[in-house]
Chains A and B, each alone.
Chain A
């Protein structure tokens, strides 16, 4: 259910119906896709506010020309009028041929802003200026493709509740070169951000009392005591990477720290009986973060989902994603 800017602005019923119709029409006209190239089907153009004032100016010049019977004033009126017409083509050409690729959206906690990364690419060698990209509630970015073929753009959008957050349609607009016309498009780049549950502190740690660790030292990440090196495995935190060695030209090595684990913690759905789903997920989320900070291994057990204990950024991501998407229907890993 894409949320459109037009939908959010429309307050009363009539405009609500209109904006729903508009977004339905928009979906038919510009269907969602991961990369969209702008052509005449996707670009809208209309005079801007300064453009309307420009018409007033033209009228004034024409009246001057008529009242003073001045042919050069006529000429300027017509030159500016045709300049306006020519600028329709220039403004359109400033958007035409651009391709937008959706790159990624970083997961975020509710109330935070997710970073949406896009790549803007031009088809030819012609320069594009003052392209403004924005999501209805998000930040905006003003970029130009003058001396480069593509650029990456990061836009930050505040996310809502747990699950997938769809930022709606991306607005790409430009008034270059004269500012008299506004050329824009609404694009659905099929890009969604994962929203984790809101972490809520709770006293009781799940699956045990979480006391001081005892027993054998176990290699784990994120602890204090340095233990040795091992070759880098995907999922290792970048903070663990032994960058000095990389700088000397060696292969990627991860620093391994020692911690003491008496047992592995289980983040268990059933550890919070009688508590509402969202709150349970919030508690589990809190503990996932806390255990990761401590560098302990932890697993997740939700109805229908079991993740074996481990630790590390990638593991934490998997756990949080599972929490985020619990009972959310969508089958995404």
Chain B
């Protein structure tokens, strides 16, 4: 009873071609992630299957298939070193997908292959939910569904492009209800831990800064995060996005204080009094695989799950593996750490012993000339301005030992981290508490939707100096060397050098001068922001807000009713569209009466043959059942008159004739069946 109508039959050629097309379309986005041999396996299986199709090869035997499967697993293990991460899992799935093509004989195999195709489409989203990729994946869904539909059209032996039509139509019909489910389906937390992207690189500013690190990061035009301010956007020169605070200098590199290095009393940020009007904004951060978040100072998170650290940064207890959207309030005028604890003062003054003697000497000389700490800061900045320092993306390499001596006195060419490094060393050497702050500076304002786009090349390092009565004060030594960097951004600052995004010649950001390219890029970025904040970033909290806006309170009956109602609203038009051309047209009443007559005669044993005209049938009845002759002839005649008679009959006469026919039909003469 459950026999598949297509079982036993072969797969139509049209379906086979669509299956192979969809397979390659599904593979394409993974190409760069996969080892080359897997791509070759794909090509090999497709060629093999096509040879089978042409009759020039045969399907592999069981032994060959088993050894291919085993070989695939071993090869994945050798390529990735394990089988449990997300990438090896994907590779295994894709191998199974490729080999299944060699088993594609019956429709049953095609179901397995196509269902696997749907799943591989989903797997792609674990790597990217970019709007263009999502559109592409939607297209692959259409392709897989086309394979499924073509499978059920028997005897289609030629490839038909028109096969795309119905699947596209069906998916379009399914789309509205999908949206309803998408926004109404309850979002719950993960049920168990799943393999993560083991190979995903940590991106953005790292928790470890050596001269040269940030200039390397500045080669990338990737977006780090986007910010939407509730009110006006502050001037660019005020946009210092704090991510990390480096308090420890060790072996020539800066790092932040580890949690276990903090004494118990220093774990929480010292309370401060917010000053001035707060800035309210939403940050949409792309995954970094790191814990820290970016914010303007002095920031307080406006949602749960985000912590404040002792140095007034925002911190997520879990690594950010998916994009994260968070709301922040910042009071930029607030004084941080108005009272410095002894432990903190000591920490922020520590320098490695016997390091950079020339720098220390210079610091002590300048400090002795300055009246107070504040004047000392000014004189150091003045020193940077006066000496021939150069702001460059291509700084010379520094030696590991006494690197600041080398930088300050010899090379004098550096990027922001060199200046911040040197500045903080000079501060600490002169007894002024100071630390390096890393994050991003500035950002591009998108005129389309007023978001601030912060790219990786906006990565920056600056300094904070603790001054009596003012707390931590932000000092950016780079501004002293290259005011353009802060006012206009990196591109202008290094324009003379031509080194901006030197490694990515095709980046649209390099063509900001070309108006339409730039406008296209900004529009796409605005779309991406909307997409990321509304669609891919849609979570439980967003859903709660949306539902409250829609229904006021969230109660189960309202919820179920909404789903049901929207289901009907979507499905009824689809059903109507489908069936309006298939509903049998009702027969005219006289035809129905005549068929009734035929049915009566059939019970009498006189069956009207296919195509027998009513008149000749009437005559035959008269011949074969003489007792019915008069009645049958009369009835047939009445019917013929009604059905084929004058066209110009009026409604009243028609109804009268019809009633006559009906009456005659009821008055069957009593007759035997003898003939």
A and B associate in one complex: yes
Residues of A in contact with B (beta carbons under 8 Å apart) = 5, 9, 34, 37, 39, 48-50, 53-54, 57, 60-61, 63-83, 85-87, 89-90, 93, 96-97, 99, 101, 103, 119, 122-126, 129-130, 132, 142, 144, 173-179, 182, 331-333
Which of A73, A119, A123, A333 is in CB contact (< 8 Å) with B582?
A: A123
Asked if B6 contacts A179 (CB within 8 A), the reply is: yes
Asked if A87 contacts B5 (CB within 8 A), the reply is: no
B536 within 8 A of A: yes
Q: How far is the CB of A128 from chain B (nearest CB, A)?
A: 9
Residues of B in contact with A (beta carbons under 8 Å apart) = 1-2, 4-6, 9, 107, 111, 115, 118-119, 121-123, 125-126, 129, 134, 137, 141, 145, 148-149, 151-155, 166-167, 170-171, 173-175, 177-178, 181-182, 185, 188-194, 322, 535-539, 567, 570-571, 574-575, 578-585, 602, 605, 610, 673, 675
Asked if A126 contacts B170 (CB within 8 A), the reply is: no
Q: What is the chain B residue whose CB lies nearest that of A77? A: B122
Which of A34, A119, A331 is in CB contact (< 8 Å) with B605?
A: A331
A173 to B5, CA, bound (A): 8
Q: How far is the CB of A56 from chain B (nearest CB, A)?
A: 9
Q: What is the chain B residue whose CB lies nearest that of A104? A: B610
Asked if A67 contacts B153 (CB within 8 A), the reply is: no
A-B contact count (CB 8 A): 193
| Residues of A close to B178: CB separation below 8 A | 75, 78-79, 81-82
| Residues of A close to B5: CB separation below 8 A | 130, 132, 142, 173-175
Kindly name the residue among B5, B194, B570, B571 whose own CB sees the greatest number of chain A CB atoms within 10 A. B5
Q: Apart from A71-B537, A82-B174, A82-B177, what are 17 other A-B pairs with CB-CB below 8 Å?
A: A53-B115, A66-B189, A67-B192, A70-B126, A70-B322, A71-B129, A72-B536, A75-B178, A78-B178, A85-B174, A86-B174, A90-B578, A124-B580, A124-B582, A129-B154, A177-B149, A179-B152
| Residues of A close to B9: CB separation below 8 A | 142
A283 to B530, CA, bound (A): 89
Asked if A130 contacts B175 (CB within 8 A), the reply is: no
Q: What is the chain B residue whose CB lies nearest that of A50? A: B111
Q: What is the chain B residue whose CB lies nearest that of A72? A: B125
Asked if B153 contacts A129 (CB within 8 A), the reply is: yes
A65 to B151, CA, bound (A): 28
Can you identify 10 A-B contacts, CB atoms within 8 angstroms? A61-B119, A76-B121, A96-B579, A96-B583, A97-B584, A101-B610, A123-B583, A123-B585, A130-B5, A176-B149
Asked if B148 contacts A178 (CB within 8 A), the reply is: yes
Q: How far is the CB of B104 from chain A (nearest CB, A)?
A: 15
A65 to B574, CA, bound (A): 28
| Residues of A close to B155: CB separation below 8 A | 144
Asked if B4 contacts A72 (CB within 8 A), the reply is: no
Asked if A79 contacts B175 (CB within 8 A), the reply is: yes
Asked if A87 contacts B122 (CB within 8 A), the reply is: no
Asked if B181 contacts A78 (CB within 8 A), the reply is: yes
A190 to B75, CA, bound (A): 63
Asked if A76 contacts B578 (CB within 8 A), the reply is: no
Asked if B151 contacts A179 (CB within 8 A), the reply is: yes
Asked if B574 contacts A89 (CB within 8 A), the reply is: yes
A314 to B122, CA, bound (A): 68
Asked if B149 contacts A178 (CB within 8 A), the reply is: yes
A83 to B178, CA, bound (A): 9
Kindly name the residue among A72, A79, A331 whose own CB sees the greatest number of chain B CB atoms within 10 A. A72
Which of B153, B181, B194, B605 is in CB contact (< 8 Å) with A82?
A: B181
Asked if A78 contacts B575 (CB within 8 A), the reply is: no
